[in-house]
Amino acid sequence: MRIKSLVCAFLVLLVAGTAFAKPTEITFQLGWAVDSSRGKAIQPIVDLFNQQNAEKYFVKMMSGDKIDASRLLTQVTSGNAPDVMQVNFAILQAFAAEDLLSTITGFNALMAKAYSKDVVAKVTYKDAVYGIPWVGHTIQLVYNEELFKKAGLTRAPATWDELLTYAKQIKSRTGVDGLAIAAAQHYDTVWMSMPILYAYGAPILKGTPGSGSEVISLSDERSLAAMAKLQEFYALYVNAPTANGGNVMEDFRNQRAAMEFQGPWGVTDIWKNGRPFTAKAALMPAGPSGRFADVGIEALVVPLRKPDKAKREAIQAFLEFMLAPQAQMMVMNGELNPADGKYYPFRVPIRNDLSGTDFFKQFPELYPFVEGFSIICDTAPGPYWTQLGAEVWSPVMNELALKKITPAEAAKKIETKGNAIIKAFYNK
């Protein structure tokens, strides 16, 4: 009887220990504040993971809104980084090059099936995957359907030449500027202008970006043709020389322009302001070399360390959950707009197999921003581009808009001053 009692007691303790065992906890650092509207939009997704895995795993969210690239670097190199971090693809590439991130495995089949090759390339370094593409945006053409109809237009323009024709026709028939496009001395001018150069086949950089031997090249016929087209668009938009992205949105919202280049917020901005007209979106126009769109990709990465088996399993399970269709579509629930108490999307999923979901059937005008991940280009093709864009590219485009210089002169200025910045960057 004594032995039987001891066995029973042992089993009771074993069961009790199992029942009260704590789930493995991992930390997830957002790129936004946890208590911000975007943090609150992501929290239900993490909560669902915790509910579904209550006995095994628990993910604690952390704020990362005040942590820039240098502070992220300090976190990782000091060993104090969270288990999973949200970073943009440029930081991913930089950290992977410094061997600061763990490679991500187990997603090859999903990557091949549900993501464009260009997206996969953004999270890959030297043939190894260092992050998973979580959410993001692309810049596409947003247009006012009512002004299109008034101008006798029934569809979005397919090419840059057609876009120019549309802009002129809208102006002549409605009195409204056709395309609002930034040309102020502001970085928005960079990402709004570069896609047309890619579309025309401009080399932009010759040599491998990051090699130290690359140079800007814009004096060929393709580059000059793109710049000439840009100058025409600038001339048709009265506010171009002083407009940044915010000004462009304002003119589009107030129906002073019928088209703009924006992310999904270009559409939701109209929703937030009472839907005075129907805002639709279409892929960027095509040029001789195809369609190209600016992109922002937020990836989930794992800092390099050796977590125990339980943490490794928790991290893998969390990453798989965050890429699953359910979690991806929960992002589209959006963030709260305090002005009207409603929720609006702020980013879109990057998976390309979600067009059949109920959300995109109801709001097809947002799907081009997802579809656009198949036509992305790099509007910051080198580690020095932020400086080059601010000090050279946007000021030169401003001069082009003001007709102070010709396309050939603009190309020469960017080459001369831009290559000086590249040279100085590598000679630090």
Decide: 44 and 321 in contact? Cβ < 8 Å.
no
Question: Which pLDDT value is given to residue 268?
Answer: 97
Asked whether residue 288 carries a pLDDT value surpassing 50, the answer given is: yes
Mean pLDDT, residues 191-214: 93
Question: The tokens of 148 are what?
Answer: 């299109």
Mean pLDDT, residues 9-18: 49
Asked whether residue 16 carries a pLDDT value surpassing 70, the answer given is: no
Among residues 41, 49, 116, 114, which one has the least CA distance to residue 84? 49
Mean pLDDT, residues 293-303: 96
Phi, psi of 94 (to 5 degrees): -65, -45
Q: How far apart are CA 355 and CA 358, in angstroms?
A: 8
Mean pLDDT, residues 88-95: 90
CATH fold group of domain 140-294+376-426: D-Maltodextrin-Binding Protein; domain 2 (3.40.190)
Question: Which pLDDT value is given to residue 65?
Answer: 82
Question: Which pLDDT value is given to residue 13?
Answer: 47
pLDDT digits (tens, 9 = 90+) for 126-167: 999 999 999 999 999 999 999 999 999 999 999 999 999 999
CA distance to 184, 211, 379, 389, 409, per residue, from 413 (Å): 17, 23, 18, 13, 6
Residue 117: how many CB atoms within 10 A of its CB? 10
Q: How far apart are CA 90 and CA 69, in angstroms?
A: 10
Q: How much of the chain exceeds pLDDT 70, in percent?
A: 95
Question: The tokens of 190 are what?
Answer: 């960079």
pLDDT classification of 276: cutoffs 50, 70, 90? very high
Asked whether residue 5 carries a pLDDT value surpassing 70, the answer given is: no
pLDDT classification of 118: cutoffs 50, 70, 90? very high
pLDDT classification of 4: cutoffs 50, 70, 90? low
Question: Which pLDDT value is given to residue 2?
Answer: 53
Mean pLDDT, residues 270-294: 97
Mean pLDDT, residues 332-358: 95
Decide: 184 and 394 in contact? Cβ < 8 Å.
yes
Decide: 376 and 293 in contact? Cβ < 8 Å.
yes
Query: Considering the entire predicted model, what is its pTM?
Result: 0.92
Q: How much of the chain exceeds pLDDT 90, in percent?
A: 84
What residues pair up with 88 in beta bridges, in sequence order? 298
Write out the residue limits of the CATH 3.40.190.10 domain(s) in the chain.
2-130+297-366, 140-294+376-426
Tokens 């601010």: give the residue. 390
Hey, which CATH number is domain 2-130+297-366, 3.90.930.12, 3.40.190.10, 3.10.20.600, 3.40.640.10? 3.40.190.10
